[in-house]
């Protein structure tokens, strides 16, 4: 264990004798354009003759659409096109499939089912005119009772939201179950201690700084559609457009240019994209759609909204025996959840966390409500945020009941290193982990014992200080194609690598960065494997015409899947380079040794050829060995054999003002273990961002509704995200437990901090409130909600 200091902040690591891959800290290739304002985001695109699209949205949460009169809008001198649901219905485009095999209205035909739903759109010469014309459309609605509270959605008298679905007579969306119910019940029956707690993970929103948008350009001569859009999964989108719009796939090019943050918000296909395509098909001009902030918050993919009852069974001395949970999931008006087909609740099944327990069971019911669709987003790794929040909250509730230190309780129950690969009671096979040293390092960095002493002193003085712990196991890198697909597309990822004659290279990825630094780190992976300097390797991503097929970036899957592909494609090129080198050095392949960047004859380091010389030979004059084709390139499609399971230990320190109930996060120590670390600087930035998400969710953020279904969080004045003043200087550290099945031992990490930090913060707040006898309070822990809790009136946030 070595403590190092970077930028004046404490950083420490435990390196289990594994050499980290890559070139270590490397400044980003992306930055020079971004700091100069030379990035190219969707809204920066300007094409000749380009028109602008604006969407008319429902003011009601639930209402019948009686009529839509577009006469005045069409008469506006700058308007080129007005389209209603009825017009789309004639073309069979009024509904589209969602990523969960449900359907979602592109434009409402029969009813509107959430406030902000798309009802009509206008295409005009400029954005201002398009917005003006929206006000000229007259829609007659017949308001219906909305379903807002998830707990009453299944009451017999609840209005039926999805009467578009044949025979649908209630708001039931799906049931899902995992684990062994009988076995779990038996373990609970013999437990010394059972703790039950109702825990809500409120609806929040990823709110990327750049909203969603697209420019559609249909070339009527070639019959070719180009769509620039804010998508995290350009290839999957292309295929779905082909299926939905009936355009041949080779005539569709989807380009995801620079994206101003995704955080899962930009995985689904939104009606706005389809409207832009329709607008361009009908006008023959490029059409731009760019939503505003309110539209982003009220209509695009929300996150969380799980109402959970968590139960934990243990022995008196703190041995956790079993966990079970019942979940009510609010999916909004259409099930648009982005998740592999066989996983309607995502990977919530990992709710057993980092602990070796005897039994577990989960029963989930998902329902429709009159709200926007979504669910899986905001760095959730397919519902692992919810799973980790549940287990880490309920373990703390157990610690409270047992009057046991929360770190000690966790340490006592960790899966031990020799148990990996470890099959959980819900069937997940964790690849590797060494949990205790990670927890120990966090304790050491935080000065845990001193913090507890400080807390005792402060408590005696009536001051409110809390220390919160969370320890999480993530599951990222979806996924093995036998188990995981999105609408039938297996979750593998491609990679192509081409080495030019002069030894420079281009690597083409199927995943798509939204700020995670792929242009830098993927060059580093290839550089490490081939010995070509990373500056000499360009990374191409986001353009379906230029890159191999794959499923895109979300669920922290880029490094696990595409990162593996990049390493393996480089090795494939290296294998061919070895054949060429054997010809150049006139020795057999077996006599060659690889030393990063060159082959030399075994025992004779002087007789060597560099990868650059090999590249020139591959393209140049002179013979190549028998059977070797010219050129130096390869491609691969990587099918991961398992997910990767990074882990982390977090400690948060909060102070609460007893007079105002305002929570201040004073310190936050985060130790992450994502196996081999490709670029420590970038990982650290990912962690900082995720921890800030955690502060947002735990203390500030919530998408809320009034009883009529009006969304009360439609602006950044109402939906609060952390500024520089709400977050502390982050303190980070790491351990290295490589993934045994990954080619370079690397695991994903992008979402770990978002997953792991909310429970640490909430545990800290609840710990601070211990003198008040409070065992649980629901997020977001705003001053008013903490105040209510201090008065003995904690309320769930719905």
Query: Does residue 258 touch other proteins according to CB under 8 A?
Result: yes
Segment contacting other proteins (CB under 8 A): 30-38, 195-203, 391-399, 651-659?
30-38
> In this complex, which beta carbon is closest to other proteins, that of residue 377 or of residue 399?
377
Pairing, β 95-97 against β 193-204: unpaired
Query: Does residue 31 touch other proteins according to CB under 8 A?
Result: yes
Instruction: Detail the DSSP E strand segments found in 9-160.
Output: 9-15, 51-57, 63-69, 79-84, 95-97, 103-105, 111-112, 118-124, 138-143
Segment contacting other proteins (CB under 8 A): 244-252, 347-355, 537-545, 717-725?
717-725
CA–CA gap between residue 59 and residue 711 (Å, rounded):
10
Query: Does residue 5 touch other proteins according to CB under 8 A?
Result: no
For other proteins, which residue of 210, 431, 519, 673 counts as binding (CB under 8 A)? Answer: 210
What single string gives the DSSP state of each residue in 485-531? Answer: EETTEES-EEEEEEE-TTS-EEEEESS--SSS-HHHHHHHHHHHHH-
Query: Does residue 717 touch other proteins according to CB under 8 A?
Result: yes
> In this complex, which beta carbon is closest to other proteins, that of residue 472 or of residue 668?
668
- In the complex, minimum distance from the CB of residue 468 to other proteins, in angstroms, rounded to a whole number: 18
- In the complex, minimum distance from the CB of residue 23 to other proteins, in angstroms, rounded to a whole number: 15
CA–CA gap between residue 391 and residue 395 (Å, rounded):
6
Query: Does residue 41 touch other proteins according to CB under 8 A?
Result: yes
Query: Does residue 698 touch other proteins according to CB under 8 A?
Result: no
Q: What is the size of the binding site for other proteins (CB under 8 A)?
A: 60
> In this complex, which beta carbon is closest to other proteins, that of residue 105 or of residue 691?
691
CA–CA gap between residue 328 and residue 307 (Å, rounded):
5
Query: Does residue 9 touch other proteins according to CB under 8 A?
Result: yes
Extract the tokens encoding 145. 């009772």
Segment 470-529, which members bind other proteins (CB under 8 A)? 514-517
The binding track of 665-694 with respect to other proteins, each residue x by CB under 8 A or -, is: ----------------xx-xxxxxxxxx--
For residue 135, give the nearest of 63, 192, 55 by alpha carbon. 55
697 touches 758 (CB < 8 A): yes
Extract the tokens encoding 795. 């309320």
> In this complex, which beta carbon is closest to other proteins, that of residue 130 or of residue 187?
130
> In this complex, which beta carbon is closest to other proteins, that of residue 433 or of residue 722?
722
User: What is the 8-class DSSP label of residue 59?
Assistant: S
What single string gives the DSSP state of each residue in 530-552? Answer: H---GGGEEEE-SBTTTS--B--
Query: Does residue 733 touch other proteins according to CB under 8 A?
Result: no
- In the complex, minimum distance from the CB of residue 710 to other proteins, in angstroms, rounded to a whole number: 18
DSSP H helices in 226-301: 234-245, 271-283, 293-299
Segment contacting other proteins (CB under 8 A): 346-354, 480-488, 724-732, 783-791?
724-732
Q: Measured between alpha carbons, how far is residue 421 from residues 45, 378, 392, 430 in Å?
A: 48, 28, 22, 5
For other proteins, which residue of 260, 373, 548, 675 counts as binding (CB under 8 A)? Answer: 260
Extract the tokens encoding 212. 């969603």
CA–CA gap between residue 197 and residue 398 (Å, rounded):
10
For other proteins, which residue of 2, 19, 37, 157 counts as binding (CB under 8 A)? Answer: 37
CA–CA gap between residue 192 and residue 237 (Å, rounded):
52
495 touches 540 (CB < 8 A): no
Residues 6+ apart with CB under 8 A from 227: 214, 215, 216, 217, 237, 241, 252, 253, 254, 255, 273, 276, 277
For other proteins, which residue of 191, 259, 329, 636 counts as binding (CB under 8 A)? Answer: 259
> In this complex, which beta carbon is closest to other proteins, that of residue 31 or of residue 449?
31
For other proteins, which residue of 261, 284, 437, 597 counts as binding (CB under 8 A)? Answer: 261
Query: Does residue 128 touch other proteins according to CB under 8 A?
Result: yes
Query: Does residue 648 touch other proteins according to CB under 8 A?
Result: no
CA–CA gap between residue 116 and residue 300 (Å, rounded):
9
- In the complex, minimum distance from the CB of residue 48 to other proteins, in angstroms, rounded to a whole number: 14
- In the complex, minimum distance from the CB of residue 154 to other proteins, in angstroms, rounded to a whole number: 35
What single string gives the DSSP state of each residue in 317-328? Answer: TS-EEEEEEEEE
Query: Does residue 257 touch other proteins according to CB under 8 A?
Result: no
Residues in touch with other proteins (CB under 8 A): 7-9, 27-28, 30-41, 43-44, 46, 127-128, 207-211, 258-263, 292-293, 514-517, 681-682, 684-692, 715-717, 721, 723-725, 727, 729-730
């Amino acid at each position: 264990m070595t403590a190092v200091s970077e930028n004046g902040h404490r950083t420490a690591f435990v390196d289990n004798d594994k050499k980290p891959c890559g070139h270590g800290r490397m400044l980003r290739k992306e930055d020079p354009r971004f700091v100069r304002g030379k990035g190219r985001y969707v809204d920066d695109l300007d094409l000749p003759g380009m028109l602008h699209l604006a969407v008319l949205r429902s003011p009601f949460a639930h209402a019948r659409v009686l009529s839509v009169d577009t006469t005045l809008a069409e008469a506006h001198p700058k308007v080129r096109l007005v389209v209603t649901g009825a017009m789309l219905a004639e073309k069979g485009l009024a509904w589209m499939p969602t990523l969960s095999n449900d359907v979602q209205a592109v434009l409402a035909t029969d009813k509107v089912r959430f406030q902000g739903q798309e009802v009509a759109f206008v295409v005009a010469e400029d954005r201002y005119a398009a917005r003006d014309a929206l006000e000229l459309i007259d829609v007659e609605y017949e308001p219906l009772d909305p379903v807002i509270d998830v707990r009453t959605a299944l009451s017999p008298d609840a209005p039926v939201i999805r009467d578009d679905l044949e025979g649908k007579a209630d708001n039931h969306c799906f049931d899902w179950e995992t684990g062994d119910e009988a076995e779990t019940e038996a373990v609970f029956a013999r437990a010394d201690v059972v703790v039950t707690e109702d825990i809500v993970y409120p609806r929040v929103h990823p709110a990327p700084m750049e909203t969603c948008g697209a420019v559609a350009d249909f070339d009527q001569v070639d019959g070719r559609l180009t769509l620039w859009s804010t998508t995290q999964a350009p290839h999957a989108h292309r295929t779905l457009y082909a299926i939905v719009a009936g355009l041949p796939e080779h005539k569709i090019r989807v380009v995801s240019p620079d994206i101003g943050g995704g955080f899962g918000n930009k995985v689904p296909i939104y009606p706005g994209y389809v409207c832009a395509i329709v607008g361009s098909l009908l006008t023959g001009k490029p059409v731009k759609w760019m939503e505003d902030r309110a539209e982003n918050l009220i209509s695009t993919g929300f996150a969380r909204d799980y109402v959970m009852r968590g139960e934990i069974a243990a022995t008196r001395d703190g041995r956790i025996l079993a966990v079970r949970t019942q979940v009510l999931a609010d999916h909004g008006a259409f099930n648009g959840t982005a998740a592999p087909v066989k996983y309607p609740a995502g990977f919530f099944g990992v709710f057993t966390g980092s602990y070796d327990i005897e039994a577990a069971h989960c029963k989930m019911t998902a329902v429709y409500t009159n709200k926007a669709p979504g669910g899986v987003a905001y760095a959730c790794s397919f519902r692992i945020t919810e799973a980790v929040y549940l287990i880490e909250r309920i373990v703390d509730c157990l610690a409270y009941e047992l009057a046991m230190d929360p770190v000690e309780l966790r340490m006592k129950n960790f899966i031990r290193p020799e148990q990996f690969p470890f099959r959980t009671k819900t069937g997940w096979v964790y690849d590797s982990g060494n949990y205790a040293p990670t927890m120990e390092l966090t304790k050491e960095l935080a000065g845990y014992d001193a913090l507890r002493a400080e807390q005792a002193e402060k408590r005696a003085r009536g001051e409110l200080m809390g220390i919160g712990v969370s320890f999480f196991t993530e599951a990222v890198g979806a996924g093995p194609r036998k188990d995981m697909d999105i609408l039938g597309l297996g979750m593998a990822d491609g990679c192509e690598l081409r080495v030019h004659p002069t030894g420079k290279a281009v690597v083409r990825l199927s995943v798509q960065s939204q700020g995670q630094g792929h242009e830098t780190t993927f060059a580093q992976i290839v550089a490490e494997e081939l010995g070509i300097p990373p500056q000499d390797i360009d990374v191409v991503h986001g353009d379906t015409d230029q890159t191999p097929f794959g499923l895109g970036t979300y669920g922290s899957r880029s490094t696990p899947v595409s990162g593996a592909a990049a390493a393996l494609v480089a090795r494939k090129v290296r294998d061919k380079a070895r054949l060429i080198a054997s010809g150049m050095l006139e020795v057999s392949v077996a006599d060659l040794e690889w030393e990063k960047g060159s082959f030399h004859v075994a025992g004779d380091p002087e007789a060597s050829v560099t990868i650059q010389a090999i590249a020139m030979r591959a393209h140049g004059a002179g013979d190549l060995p028998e059977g070797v084709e010219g050129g130096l390139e390869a491609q691969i499609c990587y099918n991961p054999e398992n997910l990767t399971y990074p882990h982390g230990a977090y400690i948060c320190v909060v102070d609460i003002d007893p007079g105002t109930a305002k929570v201040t996060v004073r310190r936050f120590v985060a130790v992450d273990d994502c196996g081999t670390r490709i670029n420590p600087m970038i990982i650290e930035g990912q962690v900082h961002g995720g921890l800030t998400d955690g502060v947002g969710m735990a203390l500030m953020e919530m998408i809320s509704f009034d009883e009529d279904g009006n969304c009360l969080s439609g602006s950044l004045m109402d939906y609060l995200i952390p500024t520089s003043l709400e977050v502390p200087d982050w303190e980070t550290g790491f351990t290295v437990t490589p993934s045994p099945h990954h080619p370079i031992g690397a695991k994903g990490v992008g979402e770990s901090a978002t997953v792991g930090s909310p429970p640490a913060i909430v545990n800290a707040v609840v710990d601070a409130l211990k003198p008040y006898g409070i065992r649980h309070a629901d997020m977001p822990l705003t001053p008013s909600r903490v105040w209510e809790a201090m008065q003995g009136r904690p309320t769930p946030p719905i």
